[in-house]
């Protein structure tokens, strides 16, 4: 079945019957559970927008493998224009959802695996790339949602995978069989996994020969026997169970509905295995995935920030401070920071290049700069929103207080702003700001696609410091000392 509409998507999740736990309870149907519906709605928006004529050029594309029109979320980038349209698409969807729509991680995993399987085959004469192409054709034909399985819990981070006391804190090959492999381990912080169909597992870091059982890339349906998902808590997540006003962004939620995924002796047939022991390519795959994912952040976070800016401007107008010069200045700064992170995504895309596999790859240094800016600018955008909105953002009463027959009139009276603006509408805008600038959203901006230190490590590798020192010496007339090595 090809998933085209929101209804198709919901039906596919109902039929999947995968194992997901929420707050200690097994969830029978994620599509009817209030904890999951906002995240499902956000992911469903990617299917809905692909059917809208005005988004056809951004949300769909012709497959280079089959010649069929497919979702861009299943596409392998064929040129710089594809890289730029990726970023434009992410900003457009963020305008509709104000939250994470979750399909980027799997998309980046598909592209990173496409490039790396080609290179492994070139070196070792393996058949991973043809296997992966068949898998990719299936994903394109069915439009199934893929989660990219990168992050392991890692246990004692001072030790490599093979030296851990518990070998399963990194996902590994526990057994090799004639028909496939048995895997054991976990993947953490898996955005959108509770409402995805497949997971594409990748190694979480560079590996050495002793770690070769952890150098693993494979694709698994999320309803496979032995896979268990445990849903993670989010800031104010219980508001999903109450009134819509308290939720802030009731239809699309907070971030991406992350889960901890357990692999308890899961069987994977060889046709779905795309790396198995080629430890020297683990770091390459990680770096490619990270670069592709960091490319995204100016797009999706730029789009989300556009909504935050609009909500902040409305909050100021509703309380009568919209005309103040300091508010205008803060809104202008928020716009500047938003366009700065967006321009980073566009620049690393425009400077992208063709890999040996034929797929296009963003400029890695600029992609890392983009993500580094996001770790800073999103916090500043949130701070400015809090500054303008005021302390009421943190102390506003419940929606139930507003609806209460005895005390609701006091909420209406004392939380009123300018004449002609309803108290309820003012509260809705304030809750939206709180939702979009609260704890979970900020932490995801910091650590999604890698924490700030990982980008600084890449600066050291990609920043060409030696070349820059040579340029400085040349201009200053400093002679090289022949006595030094």
Q: ∠ CA(364), CA(449), CA(9), 5° rounding?
A: 115
Distance CA 381, CA 441 (A): 12
Is 291 one of the annotated active-site residues of the chain? Answer: no
Is 379 one of the annotated active-site residues of the chain? Answer: no
Given 300, 342, 360, 434, which residue is catalytic? 300
Instruction: List the structure tokens of 329.
Output: 């200045």
Is 333 one of the annotated active-site residues of the chain? Answer: no
Given 9, 252, 297, 360, which residue is catalytic? 297
Distance CA 166, CA 19 (A): 24
Given 77, 104, 198, 369, which residue is catalytic? 104
Q: Which residue reads 């308890």 in tokens?
A: 264
Are residues 118 and 356 in contact, defined by beta-carbon separation less than 8 angstroms? yes
CA contacts within 13 A on the Cβ side of 195? 30
Residues, the chain, total? 485
Strands (E), 36-127: 60-62, 69-71
Pairing verdict, β 227-231 and 259-269: antiparallel
Contacts of 278 (CB under 8 A, 6+ apart): 120, 124, 126, 212, 215
Is 297 one of the annotated active-site residues of the chain? Answer: yes
Given 9, 74, 97, 258, which residue is catalytic? 258
Given 46, 74, 75, 100, which residue is catalytic? 100
Distance CA 485, CA 473 (A): 17
Given 293, 348, 399, 440, which residue is catalytic? 293
Is 348 one of the annotated active-site residues of the chain? Answer: no
- Taking the alpha carbons of 459, 461, 467, 469 in that order, is the dihedral positive or negative? positive
Is 21 one of the annotated active-site residues of the chain? Answer: no
Q: Which residues belong to the active site?
A: 100, 104, 191, 258, 293, 297, 300, 444
């Amino acid at each position: 079945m090809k998933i085209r509409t929101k209804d198709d998507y919901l039906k596919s999740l109902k039929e999947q019957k995968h194992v997901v736990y929420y707050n200690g309870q097994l969830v029978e149907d994620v599509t009817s559970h209030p904890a999951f519906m906002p995240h499902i709605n956000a992911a469903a928006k990617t299917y809905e927008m692909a059917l809208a004529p005005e988004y056809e050029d951004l949300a769909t594309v012709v497959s280079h493998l089959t010649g069929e029109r497919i979702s861009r979320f299943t596409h392998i980038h064929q040129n710089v224009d594809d890289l730029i349209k990726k970023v434009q698409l992410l900003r457009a969807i963020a305008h509709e959802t104000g939250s994470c729509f979750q399909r980027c991680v799997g998309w980046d995993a598909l592209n990173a695996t496409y490039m790396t399987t080609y290179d492994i085959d070139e070196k070792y004469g393996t058949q991973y790339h043809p296997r992966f192409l068949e898998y990719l054709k299936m994903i394109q034909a069915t439009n199934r949602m893929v989660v990219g399985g990168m992050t392991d819990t890692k246990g004692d981070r001072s030790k490599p995978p093979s030296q851990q006391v518990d070998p399963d804190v990194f996902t590994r090959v526990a057994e090799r069989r004639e028909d496939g492999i048995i895997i054991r381990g976990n993947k953490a912080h898996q955005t959108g996994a509770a409402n995805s169909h497949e997971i594409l597992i990748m190694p979480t870091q560079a590996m050495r020969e002793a770690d070769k059982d952890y150098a693993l890339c494979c694709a698994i349906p999320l309803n496979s026997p032995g896979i268990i998902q445990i849903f993670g808590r989010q800031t104010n997540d219980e508001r999903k169970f109450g009134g819509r006003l308290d939720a802030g962004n009731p239809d699309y939620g907070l971030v991406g509905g992350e889960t901890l995924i357990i692999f308890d002796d899961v069987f994977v047939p060889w046709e779905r295995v795309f790396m198995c022991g080629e430890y020297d390519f683990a770091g390459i795959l990680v770096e490619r995935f990270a670069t592709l994912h960091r490319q995204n952040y100016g797009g999706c976070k730029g789009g989300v920030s556009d909504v935050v800016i609009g909500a902040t401007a409305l909050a100021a107008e509703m309380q009568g401070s919209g005309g103040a010069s300091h508010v205008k200045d803060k809104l202008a700064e928020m716009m500047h920071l938003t366009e700065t992170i967006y321009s980073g995504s566009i620049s690393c895309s425009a400077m992208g290049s063709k890999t040996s596999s034929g797929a296009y790859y963003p400029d890695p240094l600029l992609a890392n700069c983009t993500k580094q800016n996001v770790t800073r600018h999103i916090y500043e955008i949130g701070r400015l929103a809090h500054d303008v909105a005021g302390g009421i953002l943190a102390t506003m009463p419940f929606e139930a207080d507003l609806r209460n027959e005895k005390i609701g009139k006091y909420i209406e009276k004392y939380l009123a702003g300018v004449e002609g603006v309803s108290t309820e509408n003012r509260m809705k805008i304030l809750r939206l700001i709180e939702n979009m600038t609260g704890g979970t959203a900020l932490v995801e901006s910091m650590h999604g696609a890698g924490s700030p230190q990982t980008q600084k490590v890449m600066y050291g590798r990609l920043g060409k410091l030696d070349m820059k020192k040579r340029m400085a010496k040349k201009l200053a007339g400093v002679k090289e000392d022949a006595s030094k090595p």
